[in-house]
Chain A
Amino acid sequence: MKAQTDSLVQFFDFENAAVRKDGLSALGGTAAMHGVQALMTAAPLLLQNHALQSATEALQAALDVRIVDILAAAWNTRQELRQYLDRTKFPANQIIDHIIAKHDVHSTHKPRLQIMLDQSPVGPEIEFEVIVGLTVEAAVLRIQDARIMGARMGKIFGTGTIKCEGATLFSRPTKAVTLPLTVSFGTGLAIGKANDAAIAA
């Protein structure tokens, strides 16, 4: 069940010290961080170095997005699933397994951070771009009462990059994503509502 809760932190191997160090050095070379460090010249060197560390930790918090949620949100955008909204044709007690053949899921979101010194903002906000690409061999969505109750997935391959001001901070080559074969969405995701919260059981 741990794999079901894997997020983009594990996807980008953010907890790896070597990967994190490379990302920190790349982040320190951006113009935004140069500006922040210029504003913190009077502060001790320890604080200047800690600003990078703090930004990385905040980015890690922004990457706390489960992969299955990304997949569910992506599947929910399929137009073919909207047919199950017809209750006369698909009654509520009817369980439908909808099969999706091999497909690619693209996800992009842009978290924004603000470095603070003594509770005061230092410099402008720093925007990151998190790009995730997932290739799903096949997936069977269990649908009931116009809700996606769960899914069974085949092999998934994923790649992704985290950029800041055009500079790549973290990059993940295309490799298999460890996810369970069966994923349950609890009470289910309402079809047609993109931002419906999914609770994994």
Chain B
Amino acid sequence: MSHTRPWYWPVLGLAAFLAILFATTAGAQDGDGRPSAREEQLLTDFLILAVKPEGDDQDYKLVEIGKAKLDAATLDTVIKKKPRDFLGLGLGLGGSDDERSYNPAAEAAQCRAACAANSQCRSFAYVPPNARQQLGVCHLKTLVDATLGAMTPVPNPDEKTQSPREPDTGYTKDPPIRETAPIEIPPRETQVIETPTVETAPPKPERPRAETPPPPRLPPITVEPFPMPPRMIAEAPPRNIFSPTANIEPPPPLPVRIDEPIVVTTSEEAPVRPRKPFPLWLALVSIAFMLGGATLYSHSHRKRLRTRVSTRLVSNGLDRHSLGVQTSAQPDIGLRFVVRQSAAVGAPGTRIDLFPSGALA
């Protein structure tokens, strides 16, 4: 450890920081989702609703039957004192007053919805109908102000003798109600669904499974040997087919003659249209058109290219024109004519004088 790398401690510190941050966040999330034990102790009923069926088995209406916590016997008494039609009993659902099918999950959902709709509600408890209680009861619970005194939560028949959380504070906000008789509720008929938060979904009741039919009886397994063809008994020694003298029979002729064309016929015979040949004149015209275009382009290109080169005539040289007339060695025999009159040759008065010039002069 004496030679630690330079990134060792920063990385270790960063990992520790991330671990602490993760643990803090996880703890905060756990605290938000579920009430603490202290909060559970301060929860008490502030509204008790009876789940009243209406019309159909799946339609319910919550009817208020109390605004404070009640024990089971008192609650039973309150329910019995209510008119039967008020609570939805005796409406002829199935013809029997007492026998009524109920859906605990749907009634619990109604209870959860009632809690969610009430801003005072922090938790709820749903007690399904049983032998003594003909209606499902929904307990909406809220927190009791600790400064004024904690209220005792609604005693659950199951939790009455088992709940270790039930504090004995000696006083309660609600008026004391005595239990008239001990409640005997079979544990299998009492189903208390108590969820700490509204978002928690109650477990769905398991449907009764159909009994699996017994497997069919099969005949006993018997083993029978597979019938094999009888082996041929060799009557002569095997022939050597590799020897050149072996008498090998020629292969049978092919069933199909190769020299004949094989005609494949299809079920869907499409009409074969004779392809019209490309007209020769059109091909020639196309070629001539292309060649003409190429020639025109080439000519234009060369013409444009040639305009880049030009030759300027600086001087035609006539300003330094040298001229010379060299006469021959012969003497000049030229004559000078002087015309005195007009050129009317036929005139009688015409006279032409000849004056010699040059060497003859």
Residue positions of A touching B, CB distance < 8 A: 43-44, 46-47, 50-51, 54-55, 57-58, 61-62, 64-65, 70, 73-75, 77-78, 94-119, 121, 125, 128, 130, 194
Chain A residues touching B, majority SS: mixed
Q: Is the CB of A105 within 8 A of B333?
A: no
Residues of chain A lying within 8 A (CB to CB) of residue B302: 46
Proximity string of chain B (308-330) to chain A, C-beta cutoff 8 Å, 1 when within and 0 when not: 11111111111011111111101
Rounded to whole angstroms, the CA-CA distance of A114 and B311 in the bound complex is 5
Cα–Cα, bound, A120→B292 (Å): 35
Chain A, Cβ-Cβ closest to B301? A46
For the complex formed, measure the closest distance between the CB of B356 and the CB atoms of chain A, giving whole angstroms. Answer: 12
Pair B310/A109 contact, Cβ less than 8 Å: no
6 A-B residue pairs with Cβ-Cβ distance under 8 Å, sorted by A, are: A46-B306, A50-B305, A50-B309, A105-B324, A115-B312, A119-B310
Residues 171-204 of chain B, each 1 if its beta carbon lies under 8 Å from chain A, else 0: 0000000000000000000000000000000000
Of the candidates A74, A77, A99, A103, the one whose C-beta lies within 8 Å of that of B328 is A103
Q: Would you call B337 and A111 a contact (CB within 8 A)?
A: no
A58: chain B residues within 8 A (beta carbon) = 311-313
| A50 in contact with B336 (CB, 8 Å) | no
Measured CB to CB, the nearest residue on chain A to B331 is A101
Interface bin, chain B:
20 to 34
Q: Is the CB of A110 within 8 A of B317?
A: yes
Q: In the complex, what residues of B have CB within 8 A of residue A74's CB?
A: 323-325
**In the assembly, what is the distance between CA of A175 and CA of B361, in Å?**
35
Q: In the assembled complex, which residues on chain B have CB atoms less than 8 Å from the CB atom of A113?
A: 311-314
Query: Across the interface, do B332 and A101 meet the contact criterion of CB distance under 8 Å?
Result: yes
For residue B299, give the distance in angstroms from its CB to the closest CB of chain A: 12
One of B311, B312, B318, B338 near A94 (C-beta < 8 A): B338
Nearest-Cβ distance from residue B314 to partner chain A, whole angstroms = 4
Task: Please name all residues of chain B whose beta carbon is closer than 8 Å to the beta carbon of A125 when the two chains form the complex.
Answer: 314
Q: For the A-B complex with A101-B333, A106-B322 known, give 9 more contacts whose Cβ atoms are closer than 8 Å.
A: A46-B302, A50-B306, A62-B316, A101-B327, A102-B330, A103-B327, A106-B325, A107-B321, A117-B308
**Known contacts A110-B320, A112-B315: does B325 contact A75 (CB below 8 Å)?**
yes
B323 touches A111 (CB 8 A): no
Contact A44 B317, beta carbon cutoff 8 Å: no
Q: What residues of B have a CB within 8 angstroms of the CB of A105 in the complex?
A: 323-326
CB atoms of A104 and B336 under 8 A apart? no
Interfacial chain A residues near B309, Cβ < 8 Å: 43, 47, 50-51, 54, 115-117
> Are A70 and B323 in contact (CB-based, < 8 A)?
yes
Question: A109–B314 contact, CB under 8 A?
Answer: no
- Kindly identify which residue among A96, A114, A128 contacts B336, using a CB–CB cutoff of 8 Å: A96
Contact B334–A55 (Cβ < 8 Å):
no
Q: Which chain B residues lie closer than 8 Å to A109 at the CB level? A: 316-318, 320-322
Bound-state Cα–Cα, A78 to B332, Å: 13
In the complex, the answer to whether A62 meets B327 with C-beta atoms within 8 Å is: no
A98-B336, A113-B311, A118-B308 known; A107-B327 Cβ under 8 A: no
- Which of the residues A98, A103, A114, A117 comes within 8 Å of B326, measured between beta carbons? A103
Q: Taking A44-B305, A73-B323, A106-B324 as contacts, is the C-beta distance between A130 and B336 under 8 angstroms?
A: no
Please measure, in the bound complex, the distance between the C-alpha atom of A125 and the C-alpha atom of B314, giving whole angstroms. 8
Q: Give Cα A36–Cα B206 distance, bound, in whole angstroms.
A: 108
Q: What is the minimal beta-carbon distance from B309 to any residue of chain A, in angstroms?
A: 5
| A169 shortest CB reach to chain B, Å | 15
Judge if B335 is at the interface, Cβ distance under 8 Å.
yes
Question: Does B339 reach chain A (CB closer than 8 Å)?
Answer: yes
Q: Is there an interface contact between A54 and B313, defined as CB atoms closer than 8 Å?
A: no
**Residues of B with C-beta under 8 A to A50:** 305-306, 309
- Which A residues are CB-close (under 8 A) to B323? 70, 73-74, 77, 105-107, 194
Which residues in B have their C-beta under 8 angstroms from that of A77? 323-325
A94-B357 Cα distance, complex, nearest whole Å: 17
Query: In the complex, are the beta carbons of B305 and A47 less than 8 A apart?
Result: yes
**B317 contact from A46, A103, A112, Cβ within 8 A:** A112
Q: In the complex, what distance in Å separates the CA atom of A43 from the CA atom of B305?
A: 10
Closest Cβ neighbor of A58 among chain B residues: B311
A70-B323, A108-B321 known; A98 vs B334 contact (CB < 8 Å): yes
Q: Which residues of A contact B327 (CB under 8 A)?
A: 100-104
- A75 CA / B325 CA spacing, docked (Å): 7
Q: Is the CB of A54 within 8 A of B324?
A: no
Which 8 interchain pairs have the tightest Cβ spacing? A99-B334, A109-B317, A58-B311, A111-B317, A112-B314, A54-B311, A110-B317, A106-B324
